[in-house]
Structure 1
Amino acid sequence: MVRHNNQLPDNLPQLQNLIKRDPESYKEEFLQQHLHYKSILEVFRLEPTQFNKSLDELVTFLAQVAHCYPNDLKTYPQEIIDILQIHNIILDNEMRMTFCKALIQLRNKSLLEPTALLSLFFELLRCQDKILRQFLQTHIVTDIKNINAKHKNAKVNTMLQNFMFSMLKDPNIRAAKMSVDIMIELYNKNIWNDVKTVNVIATGCFSKITKVMVASLKFFLGTHSEEKESDDSDSDDEPSMKEIMMANKVNKKTKKRQKQLKKAKQSFVKAKKKKSKAPQYNFSALHLIHDPQDFAEKLFKQIEKNNDRFEVKLMTLDVVSRLIGLHSLFLLNFYPYIQRFLQPHQREVTKLLQFVAQASHELVPPDMLEPVLKTLANNFITERNSADVMAIGLNTVREICTRCPLAMNEDLFEDLTRYKHYKERSVMMAAHSLIGTFRRIMPNLLHKKDKGRPTEANIMIRSSKYGEIRASEFVLGAEVLYNQSAKNTEETSDSDEEDDDEWIDVSENNEEEIGDEEISDEEISEEEINDEEIDENELTSESMKSSISENKDDKTLTSHIVNNSAQNTCEADSGEQKINKISQKKNALTKQEKKAQKLEKKAKFKSEKNKELTAERKTKASVISTERLLTDKDFRKIEVALAKQDVTYIKRSVKRTHDQIETDKGGELVKLSDIENIYKKRKHDKAARQKSVKKGQEERDKFGFKDRRQNPLCSTTNREKRKGKAFSMLKQKLRTKVKRSFREKQIALKNHLIKQKRMK
């Protein structure tokens, strides 16, 4: 091997390449460069603010070949770390970046421990160099990701989390903000998704630095940008699979196109596999907080004390309302505080309404939410407001009552249900949705006409009291399996193994129950008919007796008043008419009372029958739940039966095709779209669009050629006249490829020569 000793000291990249190939042969040159590095480093320490090009090159060179001579470069990493720790702020930007890159290279070659390097980099986040801070942030995230790639390194994680906790209290704004961003990014990448990380970020919500507080609040609200993996998502510039397949069919078969087709097929298969996988759901960060009650109280006190911007206050209120709703907390000062801002003209009022609905749950005392509902009724649901404001108010009342139905008062509910006949469709639909909610939750508040036709599922609904917890003693709907014998179950299990995808029909049990109910209704109707016949007979006998008594009275009156005048006879006639009217009124009252009594009897009979049915179902379900182990097929039958009960009427087994009962109850969080959901006619339907088009055509000029001549009465040229003529008149003049005669060529040449002469 030929060695160029004269050129190597000046050409460090060549020496670096040769050392990596054969370290032993070039050890002398390396030691020479190492001594040169030490001497330059001593000079640099005297003036650390200046950029030293030779030191910059030597630091990079030594970092590249450090793995070849680990014994000779033992002190090299610590020297660079000491320089960065002592002179981190006053160093030149390029020199600082070179030192950091050298340390990262040493870390990648496992010549440096991660804890020492990462703690140094967190301190360097204080520097006023944006490019360096972004570079360090990406390295910290990727390094921690690589450390925890195979398994969680608890020792390193705990040390770094403690260091980040101290960095959050750092007075430097940039360092604190960057440390919060790193923790949030690591949580979103599922690297640090433990309880400790969440609670460290939670302390950032009480930071005096507004940027740190806002970043922490956004993390708990889930508004932080999620991780975008470049491997899974195809870029917009790349052609789609359909285009590549078409190009491969039509165009020439080249190697590039074949590679593109192969790559597109692989990405398509990858995306298909990803869709087929079951979705992975992570717990919300709000579930992992140690003491949510204390955390919510501190945040609420912070709102009252601090004079932050309105947007920051909104974010804090959102976090507090979510905590109250998720953990069923008691923060009674929250509702009067937010009640002050519930005005239609308030900025971001729909978000405030969303926070009230989120903060309501079953354990909130109804006395605290009643004033809120009254405020909504007085400020929003009044005819002096627009229809949209009224609809939003009704939607908010519905969302609050879904989570805390006991807050609704009977008088207020009666007033709100009357808006179902309002002239505006949006208000009418909002009132109907409120009625539908109470059909599911608390039907006893509704009038009979608002309850609708009762279904089999509605019989089981019973409004709960405040703080009441209902523990189910049996599997709901298990009574469907009561009539099945052991043999039938074995046969069905064998048949189910053959046909797993077959849907199960559970119509027999329902038909039996419905048959019993029909018989009961027939019995009721027969009793009514008998009662009506008895009443009619009684009424006829009473009327006969009254008429006989009236005739007797008339005879006695005529015998006593024979000699009276015509005036006395007229008075007697009028008295008789009054007596008849009074008797008719009495008869009418008795009829109404009897009808009311009949209806009460009928209602009592139905309620008793329903109670008997529910009691029977409960006993059957409890027997099945205690004596049998239910299989997947059994649960499938139960689900079918429960779904059928929701849409089957009690009386005649009629299935509803519309107006189905909403089974989805209020979730953990309230969607803003549920409150802002307004039913209204589309403004831009076809008729409205045609009308606007015609209106626009009236005001503008006509399309086509616009004559810009100053004198519109002057004559036009033949060329301009040709534009207005029909094509059939001009097509014979458009024959361009016809041969010209000798005379035509002469004239054309003459004109050309004259034109050239004029140009000169």
Structure 2
Amino acid sequence: MARGVLLTANLPQLQNLIKRDPAAYKEEFLQQWNHYNSIRQIFQLNPDEQAAHFRELTAFISQVATCYPKETAEFPSHLSSLLLENYTSLSPDTRWSLVQNLVTLRNKNVITSVQLLTVLFPLLPRTTSSSLRTFIKKTILTDIRTANMRSKNHKLNRAVQAMLFGMVEQGMDAEVAGDKGKLRASSGPSRNGEEAMWAVLMTKELWRKGVWTDAKTVSIIALGCFHPVVKVQSASVHFFLGSDEEKEDSDDESEDEPNTKALQHRHEINKKTRSGSKKLTKQLKSAKKKRAQKNAPSAPNFPALQLLHDPQTFAEKIYDILNRYDKRFSLDHKILLMQLLARVTGAHKLCVLGFYTYIVRYLAYHQLRVPSILVALAQSVHELTPPDALAPVITKLAHEFVHPGVGGEVIAAGINAIREVCRRQPWAIEEDLLGDLVDYRKSRDKAVTAAARGLLHLYREINPSMLKRRERGKEASMSLAANTQPKPFGHSAEAAIDIEGLTLLEDHLKALRAEDGVDLDAEGEDDEAAWEGWDVESDSSSDSEAEDWINVDDDDDDLNISDSEDEKEKKEPDDAEKTEEPDAATRLSTLATTKILTPADFALLNELRIQAATKAVESGGGSRAKRKLAMLQATKAATQEGDDPSAFISENDILGPRKKAKADYAERMESIAKGREGREKFGSYKGKKRKDVASSSTNREKARNKPIMMIMASGAVRGKKKASLREKQQKLRAHIDRAKKAHH
């Protein structure tokens, strides 16, 4: 009896004894379990009464729940109901304790991940404590990532994704309030978008960590792009655009950037040790890396754009939101929607013709953030965009940006925007307007000249027939003489006959095999090694879809489809319709038909093309060879960064080369500090380094070397001019006396 009283008062000791021998201390546990049930009923009526003792009991039971699974079967549901139903009436310490107890039960496999996440997800928008919110967020991410570490846990992923879909869908029927002025009052986390916001943020974090990379993840965030709350829309749009401007609202768990000056100061004061120096160097390198990542331009999320389900409907909905709520949204939010619509349109080659009518109203040189608008315009154009829809846009750009009444930067931006549009759709501009724009290459402004020359070089390559005869150049005139006209709008290009530069790769591989003595017919042995790191993980839905395939016999009469005589006649083209055969002097490589090219082969092919282009430039290939080399090098750099160089453009492509802006105070001080590196503080480099004996120059030496215009207004010069004859005689006599003394 004394032992029971002692153990009842000392729960940690009882917990230790139960874990060692659960059967021997079952009566003591049941006593505490009955005590817990009685206190729980009192606690539900009045949460402030006996809260500390209730927390101790719940922590004790969560630790020993695995020892008595039958008796504690309802314990997880007790904690879940308390958190979900009475969360607002609980004290902060009690909330912390209950959440930690649930996590403990999950770590001991008493409850499943779905049961834990069903409780934690609704708590995120209701939690006011930043520390508890960070703990809940970290717990959710860790649990999902651990479950998908070895293999994809499709059951858990489907359950959690369905939960996130439900969180985003709540409040979708609300009215769009916009982000101009004050937002309209709304009641509940579903009305003000808190639940949808957290669903989007958690989905983005799981995508960023590589846990979820399938189309269902993209569908959750795509649904957030249509949410009536603007901050949910903005967070979803930023995901596809690749920017992280909403990071401050996501309570990111990453640490703040360390103060480099404080680290160096602490190192100077503390005791100098080798380990301390290594630690300082590591911290400074980490701070530099974080600063570089923070200042680096964001890349668009191209894989997410490709995984969109029904991108045409998605783009039309974005345009409908943009057009319907134009007066409710701020300019920054409208530009975000424009950029998203443009990138989806350009990536999937869609046609949303109303967008070009909408964007015309924003094409003015005095419009705020007009470079971003011009980027969105150029980004939305592709070879399937009708030229008739782009003609009014090109005309508006020319009238607003390209005329003598504006500055050189405005003209350059207008011509560059027209060039980027015409690069994607060459038939969007008229010949007369093209000739007028090309004439700006004679301007005195370098930016305008570069923009006009860029437009001229573009049409020399893609459609020289639209240029005047004297503007075409030698190579363009030769291509016109060979009747190599561009395809009209709506005509698809012919099938590719060969890959450019493939003969270089074939010769290179033959030379390597000849050096190693390898049989040329023995191919494919190293293909598996060449594909390492390039395999794409299959989607979770592909396994289930593969089970639905039906085996069909080849001898089935219903499926034996034979060509009729008319179809055979169509397959044999007439002499007039036959495609032109390649030139006999043109060598066609057979490598693509005999070998499956790996990504490593294409990387080697790009290197060989760069080497060939470099040799062509060194041998006097001209401006065309230089442009080709620059294009290959830019493609290589963009490929290394994981971005498609032809997919997206930036504001620098629109603004073009600009004059260097006047440095501000911070830039001037930085330049001064950079110039002082490598020299002694307040030391004269001239006097101490350039003389045999280190010494500084005297004031008389400095005065002798001063320019005449600096000393003409000095007191000494003015005194000489006003000196009397007597004063001049005295100075001359004193000079003669000093000379005699120096001589003797």
Category of TM-score, reference length = shorter chain:
0.5 to 0.7
Work out whether residues 501 and 605 of structure 2, in 8 Å CA contact, stay in contact via their aligned partners in 1: no
Equivalent position of 1:166 in the other structure: 166
Structure-to-structure mapping, 1:264-275, within 5 angstroms:
none
Letter in 2 for 1:208: P
In the alignment, the residues of structure 1 paired with residue 489 and residue 617 of structure 2 have an alpha-carbon distance, to the nearest angstrom, of: 30
Structure 1: stretches of 5+ with no match in the other structure: 272-279, 499-613, 694-760
1:463 has 2:433 as partner: no
2:692 maps to which residue? none
Alignment partner of 1:124 is 2:143: no
User: 2-side partners of 1:490 and 1:192: how far apart?
Assistant: 43
Letter in 1 for 2:492: I
Match of 1:136 in 2: 136
CA distance in 1, matches of 2:469, 2:509: 42
Q: 1:191 aligns with which of 211, 214, 217?
A: 211
CA contact (8 A) 1:455 1:648 kept: no
1:476 maps to 500
Q: Which residue of 2 aligns with 1:341?
A: 362
Q: 1:647·1:660 contact (CA, 8 Å) conserved in 2?
A: no
Question: Could you tell me how far 1:14 is from its partner in structure 2?
Answer: 3.8
* 1:298-353 deviations in Å (ceiling 9; x for gaps): 11111122222222222111111111111111111111110111011111111111
Counterpart for residue 304 of structure 2? 285
Inter-CA distance 29–334: structure 2 relative to 1 (3 Å threshold): same
Distance 1:493 1:383, change over 3 A: same
Equivalent residues of 1:351, 1:672 under 8 A apart: yes
One-letter code aligned to 2:659: K
The Cα shift of 1:7 comes to: 4.2
**Structure 2, unpaired ranges of 5+:** 172-189, 291-298, 519-579, 636-644, 673-744
Q: 1:679 aligns with which of 649, 652, 658?
A: 658
Check conservation: 2:617, 2:626, Cα contact below 8 A: no
Call closer, same or farther: CA 1:642–1:333 in 2, change over 3 Å.
Answer: farther
* Residue in structure 2 matched with residue 80 of structure 1 by the alignment: 79
Could you list the per-position Cα deviations for residues 388-412 of structure 1 after superposition, in whole angstroms to 9, with x for gaps in the alignment?
Answer: 1111111111111111111122111
> Quick one: which amino acid aligns to residue 158 of structure 2?
T
Tell me the amino acid that sits aligned with residue 222 of structure 1.
G
Residue 9 of structure 1: aligned partner:
8
Say yes or no: does 1:309 pair with 2:330.
yes
Does 2:23 correspond to 1:59?
Answer: no
Distance apart, 1:143 and its partner CA: 1.2
- 1:159-202 deviation digits (Å, cap 9, x = unpaired): 12112111112242322221221111111111122101111221
Q: Which residue of 1 aligns with 2:220?
A: 200
1:42-65 C-alpha deviation (Å, 9 max, x unpaired): 211222465622111111121122
Alpha-carbon distance between aligned partners in 2 of 1:236 and 1:342, rounded to the nearest angstrom: 44
**Which residue in 2 is equivalent to 1:178?**
198
- Give CA deviations for 1:556-612 in whole Å, capped at 9, x if unaligned: xxxxxxxxxxxxxxxxxxxxxxxxxxxxxxxxxxxxxxxxxxxxxxxxxxxxxxxxx
Q: Residue deviations 1:635-657, cap 9 Å, x none?
A: 689736863696499xxx75669
Question: Which of the pair has more CA radius of gyration?
Answer: 1
- Match for residue 587 of structure 2? 621
Please point out which of 223, 231, 234 is paired with 1:214: 234
Distance 1:262 1:27, change over 3 A: farther
Contact kept, 8 Å, 2:346 with 2:379, in 1: the verdict is: yes
Mapping of residues 500-649 of structure 1, within 5 Å: 617=583, 620-622=586-588, 639=609, 643=613, 647=617
* Contact 1:37 1:55 (8 Å CA) reproduced: yes
- Say yes or no: does 1:446 pair with 2:467: yes
Match of 2:384 in 1: 363
Shift of 1:630: 9.8
Computed over aligned residues only, the root mean square deviation of the Cα atoms, in angstroms, reads: 4.6
Change (3 A) 1:54 1:326: same
Aligned residues of 2:343 and 2:379 also touching (Cα < 8 A): yes
Task: Give me the whole-angstrom Cα distance separating, in 1, the residues matched to 2:8 and 2:402.
Answer: 87
Cα offsets for 1:409-463 (capped at 9, x unmatched): 2111110111111122221122122222223322333345544453999799742
Quickly say closer, same or farther: Cα 1:321–1:57, change in 2 above 3 A.
same
Which residue number in structure 1 is paired with residue 543 of structure 2? none
How far off its partner does 1:5 sit?
A: 5.3
Cα–Cα, structure 1 residues 25 and 257, in superposed 2: closer, same or farther, change >3 Å? Answer: farther
Q: Distance between the aligned counterparts of 1:678 and 1:252, measured in 2?
A: 49
Counterpart among 422, 428, 435 of residue 407 in structure 1: 428
Q: Distance in 1 between matches of 2:342 and 2:116?
A: 41
The answer to whether the 8 Å contact 1:455/1:647 transfers is no
TM-score, normalised via structure 2 length: 0.64
Tell me, yes or no, if the aligned pair for 1:77 and 1:112 is still in contact at 8 Å: yes
Q: Are 2:18 and 2:25, in contact at CA under 8 Å, matched by a contact in 1?
A: yes
CA contact (8 A) 2:346 2:381 kept: yes
Q: Higher relative CO (CA 8 A, sep ≥ 6), structure 1 or 2?
A: 1
Contact 2:125 2:198 in 1 (8 A): no
**Residue 677 (structure 1) shift:** 2.4
1:388 to 409, 423, 426: 409
SS of 1:164 mapped into structure 2: helix
- Structure 1 residue 295 displacement after superposition: 0.8
Structure having the higher helix fraction is 1
Identical residues among aligned pairs (%): 32
SS in 1 for 2:225: helix
What CA distance in whole angstroms lies between the structure 2 residues aligned with 1:211 and 1:490?
58
